Amino acid sequence: MRLYIGRNISKEIMLRLQEANPEWTIVSKDSVEDEMQELQRADAVAAPSSEMLKRMTTTAGSVKWVHTWSAGVDNVPLKELSENGITVTTSSGVHGVPIAETIFALMLGWTRKIPQYVRQQKDRKWHHANMNAEMYGTTVGLFGTGAIGQETAKRCKAFGMNVLGISRSGRAVEGFDEIFAEQQTNIVLDRCDFVVNSLPLTEATTGFFGKEQFGVMKPNAFFVNVGRGKTVDEDALLHALERGTIAGAGLDVFETEPLPESHPFWTMDQVVMTPHTAGSTLHYDERVCDILNDNMSSLTSKGTLSVNVVDVKLGY
């Protein structure tokens, strides 16, 4: 079988993949002259961009498996690929550690008033700012109990927090004190000091957090969004922040990116923003190729893909 990796990756990773899968011929972008010809020859393609994935709907050739270099599939033409008999797998999980670290940095920084002290340092002001809050003993609601949620839960438990998980199914997951189904969202929100959104973008999760959800959160709640911008009604979030319905927000993703310079979030003291960098890590390619390796081995030995196989009906 033949795998085409549509980007340049290190020789070390290529060698590791090839040694682990001697039955496969593996080529990457830097080793081919005609990419279109390679797409026609390959049995599987690891696609680094939505543009390549869209091309696969008309130039798939013998391809039966496409792996996305990203975790989300909101820009993947799932229906068209499925109609061409192509199974899609994703890189879900590769962001678990860096995004969990970003989530925790936002929550801890907010709790210990780091953003305020940074502003005071800039203005050369020595002010205590009523510092008395701790993470210990607080409750966090993690919306999404996959790799990001699980890595975040580990860090929260280490700080003595009560960890609630919310997922589509509500099935038990190790590391959480309690797990709830999405239908119980408002009951959970009423208990949380921190609300973390790492939900994927699907038809069902578009605008998941809106006026109703912010309205039942505690006045001291800090909302974190590291999932997808469109899972949050930003007008409702802005309204909740302006009215003091919730205390603050840590935002890495937005409905429109880059965030327009005129947006009120830029100047709000109760908002901490990062420019969609929560998942950035120097280990990214290595972790993607670990998933590729698992699926190549599974396909060789069992004839099936086993990791991060997308359910077209669910949209993730």
Q: Which of the residues 7, 276, 286, 287 is marked catalytic?
A: 276
CA-CA distance, 71 to 95, in Å (whole number)? 8
Q: Catalytic: which of 23, 83, 134, 257? A: 257
Identity at 185, one-letter amino acid code: T
Q: How far is CA 192 from the centre of its chain?
A: 21
First to last CA, the chain: 26
| DSSP label of 223 | E
Question: Token pair of 25, please?
Answer: 């011929």
**Is position 83 annotated as part of the catalytic site?**
no
- Exposure string of 194-229, with b = 16+ CB inside 10 Å and e = fewer, is bbbbbbbbbeebeebbbeebbeebbeebbbbbbbbb
Asked if 228 is an active-site residue, the reply is yes
**Distance separating alpha carbons of residues 94 and 286, to the nearest angstrom:** 9
For this structure, is 276 an active site residue?
Answer: yes
Q: What secondary structure, in 3-state letters, does 76-113 show?
A: CCHHHHHHCCCEEECCCCCCHHHHHHHHHHHHHHHHCC
Helix (H/G/I), strand (E/B), else coil: 312: coil
Cα separation, 139 vs 156, whole angstroms:
9
- DSSP SS3 for 202: coil
Contact 97, 74 (CB under 8 A): no
Return the beta strands (E) in the chain as ranges. 2-5, 25-28, 44-47, 65-68, 87-89, 139-143, 162-167, 178-181, 194-197, 222-225, 248-251, 271-273
Strands in 44-47's sheet, in edge-to-edge order, are 25-28, 2-5, 44-47, 65-68, 87-89
Catalytic residue among 228, 242, 286, 287: 228
The residues assigned a catalytic role are 228, 257, 276
